[in-house]
Amino acid sequence: MHRRIAQARSLAARVRRPSHGDAVGLIYGVMAVLLMAYLVLLIVRPADQSSTAIDGWGVDAFELFAGVLCIVGGIRRRPGSVVPIVLGAAVISWGLGDLVFTIESLGGATPPSPGPADALYLGFFALSYVAVVLLVRGETRRLSSPTWLDGSVAGLGAGAVCAAFAFSAIVRQTHASGLGVAVNLAYPVGDVLLLLLVVGGTAVMSGRRKAPWLLLAAGFTINVLGDTSNLLQSASHLGVVINSAAWPISSAMLSGAMWLRPGLTDPLAEQKPPGFLLPGLAAGAGLTILFVGTLTPLNHVAALLATATLLLVVLRTSLSVRTLRAQTRERHQQSVTDHLTGLANRRRLFGALDMFFAQPAGDRPELALLFIDLNGFKRINDSFGHTVGDEVLGQVSARLARTLRPTDLLARVGGDEFAAMLVNAGVEQTATIAGRLSASLNEPFQFDAVSAEIGASVGIARTPDDAADGEGLLECADAAMYRAKLSSSRFAFYDRELDRGGNKLKLADDLSAAIDGDQLVLHYQPQLDLRSDRIDTVEALVRWRHPEFGLIGPLSFLPLAEQAGLMDRLTRWVLTHALAQCAAWRATGRPLRVSVNVSISDLRDPGFPATVASLLDRMRLRADALMIEITETSIIDEFERVQQAVSALGQLGVDVSIDDFGAGFTSLAYLNDLAVEEMKLDRRFIAPLAGGVRSRDSEVVRATIELGHALGLQVVAEGIEDDAALELLRDLGCDIAQGYGIGRPAPAGELSFDAMPAPAPARMLARRA
């Protein structure tokens, strides 16, 4: 109920607020109509007629009202600002002057000059000046120096023009002397100063903020017209019209300017570079005045202002030229720099290559282009986030740069891809540099508490043999890099035979054919159950027996399979063969279970659990013959899908294990919501346990094992390479152990199951290992 009332109130407030503005707007509308009517009256009325009621009281009342409205309307539009009050006071001061003048003129009397009315008129100038200065200060606080100078130039230029023409005419026409001259001079001087300020202010305001300023400038300009016409005591019809209408119009405009809402500055608007139009115009005006001064005598004020204008224009222009030059240089630098690493970017690399190939073929030195692709960078990015990823890229850049010669160009050409352009490097020197490059990345990368290993594969293309332009050279280097990656070499030179058309597309085709043509093979790695000292489970790990490159590890081609959309076929192949092998073992009386790795794209497929079920069925295996491993990072990426897939597999009776646990910082809340049975600690946790020494690292492992147990999971430790680590893990309460120290992955036929007597662990040796 209360909320309803509050809502209604706030609604009413919202509706009411614009109606205030509308009311004031309406008043200004009526004032405009009155002014129009007055103007028409002045025009149609003979020049020598006037009425005290209209030209006297009426105009006085109008001006005073405009002053009051300026304060009332302005305060609402510019809360907290004293400008409307001061300007309103100025207009009121003028109105009072007019009022005094009207009273003094009653009965056809001639008011004294200078008299009390003049004091009030001059009060207008003083107050207006203060108001405009405050307004300029308030609105230009954040302006750059060229903008400031623009304002000054425009103001001075306007002042010079004003002084040269209106002002000098006024002075010449004034016949009074002493105080009279001083007072009469105060008007044009006041006008010139005000106009100077307002024109300057208008020039520096941008867009919608300009509107109030334009109205102010118009108001003060009309004021100048009125003053001029008054001082010239023009008796012409036009003179009388201007004389009578100028001040009421001007006061309405000044008042309205305070009421106009100053537009908001648009934060998205592009900062306009300083223009040259305004200083140009002012310079033109200044020059014209000085030129006229050489023909006819000119007053000193005008000459001084014109000279000052020109000097400022020179200053302003040289400043702009300097700014523009600096901007151009900076933009060029930015456009060829990789913002993350500060290395050259792709554009810079291609610029350099184009320059190289623009030389006559005979004069070109030898050139080698190295394409460097990081291995395992995506994993770091996925596990630790982009901030760490960015930092790693920075460290990688620094290391790469250190291994190159000062004359070589290192560029970052893509996410985790770099290129180095080596001019004047023979085959041998290039090979040395490439070896150094990849060796420089072998040291683990350190950031905060974690360390990560990143390797790189380097492909090399050379002129003139491999390509005749930059684009071609980079393609060749890329193809060679891919071969290096697949064959686990640190670097490879482009080879026309091997890499012919050898891009990723062709490799994807190769991989697709490999799946169909049974070029894939499975190796199995045993898992030792520390509770029973028996080997119950083996993990199936895929390899690609490539006809040209030999046996390729999964980390080299799984990303390709993922990219090329081949993952579902690959997983199906692995599942089929792993389950067939499992069935074969079971047929010979060995009750093993296989553990198969699946990727996130498999879990995304809603048909995946059904595929698993039908394959189990085909091999006549129970669901507990299979374990599915999913990596922790894939869980983080798409938790809901993973959750669905895991529960569907659970319904089949297939257990699920979280692989590489600890690599991705899964929130414990997630872990609790996932129906998994097993947790496999990432190798990174186990590596420091080599040698079996207890340390902080082993405490982390102990706590993680306890956590797994608390969640009802069995815990597997991977990457155990020596007996000491195995014993330590047994002590820490680990359930299952896997690693080279227990057995390397090997083809099914090469595994042997020689159990060792307890308490030493049962040992299963791969004969190849």
Q: Which residues bind Ca ion (CB under 5 A)?
A: 597, 629, 659-660
DSSP per residue over 442-479, as a string?
TSPEEETTEEE--EEEEEEEEETTT-SSHHHHHHHHHH
| Cβ-based neighbour number of residue 339 at 10 Å | 9
d(CA 56, CA 105): 9
d(CA 144, CA 553): 60
Candidates 146-154, 279-287, 316-324, 549-557; binding stretch for ligand C2E (CB under 6 A): 549-557
Name the minimum Å distance from CB 719 to ligand C2E.
4
Name the minimum Å distance from CB 515 to ligand C2E.
11
H/E/C letters for each residue in 307-324?
A: HHHHHHHHHHHHHHHHHH
100 backbone dihedrals φ, ψ, rounded to 5°: -60, -45
Q: Are strands 520-529 and 736-737 parallel, antiparallel or unpaired?
A: antiparallel
The option from ligand C2E, Ca ion, none interacting with 553 (CB < 5 to 8 A, set by class) reads ligand C2E
Q: Which two tokens stand for residue 481?
A: 């890099």
Kindly provide the b/e burial profile for residues 561-582, where b requires at least 16 CB atoms within 10 angstroms of the residue's own CB.
beebebbbebbbbbbebbbbbb
Among 660, 674, 689, 713, interactor with ligand C2E by CB under 6 A: 660
The option from ligand C2E, Ca ion, none interacting with 599 (CB < 5 to 8 A, set by class) reads ligand C2E
Q: Measured from the CB atom, is 283 or 627 closer to ligand C2E?
A: 627
Name the minimum Å distance from CB 738 to ligand C2E.
6
Q: Does 438 bind ligand C2E (CB under 6 A)?
A: no
Q: Measured from the CB atom, is 197 or 649 closer to ligand C2E?
A: 649
Name the minimum Å distance from CB 749 to ligand C2E.
18
For residues 346 and 429, the answer to whether their CB atoms sit within 8 Å is no
**Listed residue (529, 553, 528, 525) closest to 539, CA to CA:** 525
Among 541, 582, 616, 621, interactor with ligand C2E by CB under 6 A: 541
Name the minimum Å distance from CB 687 to Ca ion.
12
d(CA 597, CA 585): 19
Q: Measured from the CB atom, is 223 or 597 closer to ligand C2E?
A: 597
**Listed residue (341, 467, 354, 451) closest to 401, CA to CA:** 341
Name the minimum Å distance from CB 413 to ligand C2E.
27
With CB atoms as reference, the residue minimizing the distance to ligand C2E is 739
Q: Does 664 bind ligand C2E (CB under 6 A)?
A: no
The distance from CA 614 to its chain's CA centroid, rounded to whole angstroms, is 50
721 backbone dihedrals φ, ψ, rounded to 5°: -110, -15
The option from Ca ion, ligand C2E, none interacting with 714 (CB < 5 to 8 A, set by class) reads none
Candidates 31-39, 224-232, 548-556, 669-677; binding stretch for ligand C2E (CB under 6 A): 548-556
| Cβ-based neighbour number of residue 77 at 10 Å | 16
The residue written with tokens 């152990």 in the block is 737
Q: Measured from the CB atom, is 33 or 555 closer to ligand C2E?
A: 555
Name the minimum Å distance from CB 398 to Ca ion.
30
Candidates 196-204, 342-350, 395-403, 597-605; binding stretch for ligand C2E (CB under 6 A): 597-605
Candidates 17-25, 51-59, 99-107, 591-599; binding stretch for ligand C2E (CB under 6 A): 591-599
For residues 534 and 543, the answer to whether their CB atoms sit within 8 Å is no
Q: Measured from the CB atom, is 156 or 725 closer to ligand C2E?
A: 725
Task: Give residue 189's identity as a one-letter amino acid code.
Answer: V
Q: Does 601 bind ligand C2E (CB under 6 A)?
A: no
The option from Ca ion, ligand C2E, none interacting with 441 (CB < 5 to 8 A, set by class) reads none
Interaction residues for ligand C2E, span 691-750 (CB under 6 A): 719-721, 739-740, 745
Q: Which two tokens stand for residue 482?
A: 């891919």
Name the minimum Å distance from CB 546 to ligand C2E.
15
Q: Which two tokens stand for residue 410?
A: 């290192």
Distant-in-sequence, close-in-space partners of 486: CB < 8 Å, separation ≥ 6: 507, 546, 549, 552, 556, 557
For residues 685 and 697, the answer to whether their CB atoms sit within 8 Å is yes
Candidates 51-59, 92-100, 391-399, 550-558; binding stretch for ligand C2E (CB under 6 A): 550-558
For residues 87 and 131, the answer to whether their CB atoms sit within 8 Å is yes
**Listed residue (243, 246, 250) closest to 217, CA to CA:** 250
Name the minimum Å distance from CB 629 to ligand C2E.
6
The option from ligand C2E, Ca ion, none interacting with 721 (CB < 5 to 8 A, set by class) reads ligand C2E
Q: Measured from the CB atom, is 553 or 733 closer to ligand C2E?
A: 553
Q: Measured from the CB atom, is 163 or 715 closer to ligand C2E?
A: 715
Name the minimum Å distance from CB 267 to ligand C2E.
47
d(CA 739, CA 528): 9
The option from ligand C2E, Ca ion, none interacting with 598 (CB < 5 to 8 A, set by class) reads ligand C2E
Name the minimum Å distance from CB 751 to ligand C2E.
14
Binding mask 498-537 for ligand C2E (x = CB under 6 A): ---------------------------x------------
The residue written with tokens 């002590």 in the block is 731
Q: Are strands 455-463 and 491-493 parallel, antiparallel or unpaired?
A: parallel
d(CA 390, CA 412): 13
For residues 592 and 537, the answer to whether their CB atoms sit within 8 Å is yes
The option from ligand C2E, Ca ion, none interacting with 750 (CB < 5 to 8 A, set by class) reads none
Q: Measured from the CB atom, is 412 or 680 closer to ligand C2E?
A: 680
d(CA 273, CA 553): 56
Q: Are strands 655-661 and 678-681 parallel, antiparallel or unpaired?
A: parallel
- Count of residues near ligand C2E by CB under 6 A: 20
d(CA 200, CA 143): 13
Q: Which two tokens stand for residue 651?
A: 């319904």
The option from ligand C2E, Ca ion, none interacting with 511 (CB < 5 to 8 A, set by class) reads none
Q: Does 679 bind ligand C2E (CB under 6 A)?
A: no
How many angstroms separate the first and last alpha carbons of the chain?
80
For residues 307 and 291, the answer to whether their CB atoms sit within 8 Å is no
Q: Measured from the CB atom, is 223 or 527 closer to Ca ion?
A: 527
Distant-in-sequence, close-in-space partners of 83: CB < 8 Å, separation ≥ 6: 74, 131, 134, 135, 138, 258
Among 555, 755, 760, 769, interactor with ligand C2E by CB under 6 A: 555
Interaction residues for ligand C2E, span 612-631 (CB under 6 A): 629
Q: Does 558 bind ligand C2E (CB under 6 A)?
A: yes
Q: Measured from the CB atom, is 274 or 745 closer to ligand C2E?
A: 745
Name the minimum Å distance from CB 660 to Ca ion.
4
Name the minimum Å distance from CB 377 to ligand C2E.
16
CA angle 100, 102, 103 (to 5 degrees): 65
Among 597, 633, 666, 704, interactor with ligand C2E by CB under 6 A: 597
Instruction: Kindly give the residue spans of alpha helices, DSSP state H, lying in 233-368.
Output: 237-259, 277-295, 300-335, 346-358
The option from ligand C2E, Ca ion, none interacting with 643 (CB < 5 to 8 A, set by class) reads none
d(CA 766, CA 769): 5
Q: Is the dihedral of CA 18, 19, 20, 23 positive or negative?
A: positive
Q: Does 201 bind ligand C2E (CB under 6 A)?
A: no
The option from ligand C2E, Ca ion, none interacting with 675 (CB < 5 to 8 A, set by class) reads none
Q: Does 453 bind ligand C2E (CB under 6 A)?
A: no
Candidates 4-12, 387-395, 485-493, 594-602; binding stretch for ligand C2E (CB under 6 A): 594-602
Name the minimum Å distance from CB 628 to ligand C2E.
10
Binding site for ligand C2E (CB under 6 A): 525, 541-542, 553-555, 558, 574, 597-599, 629, 659-660, 719-721, 739-740, 745
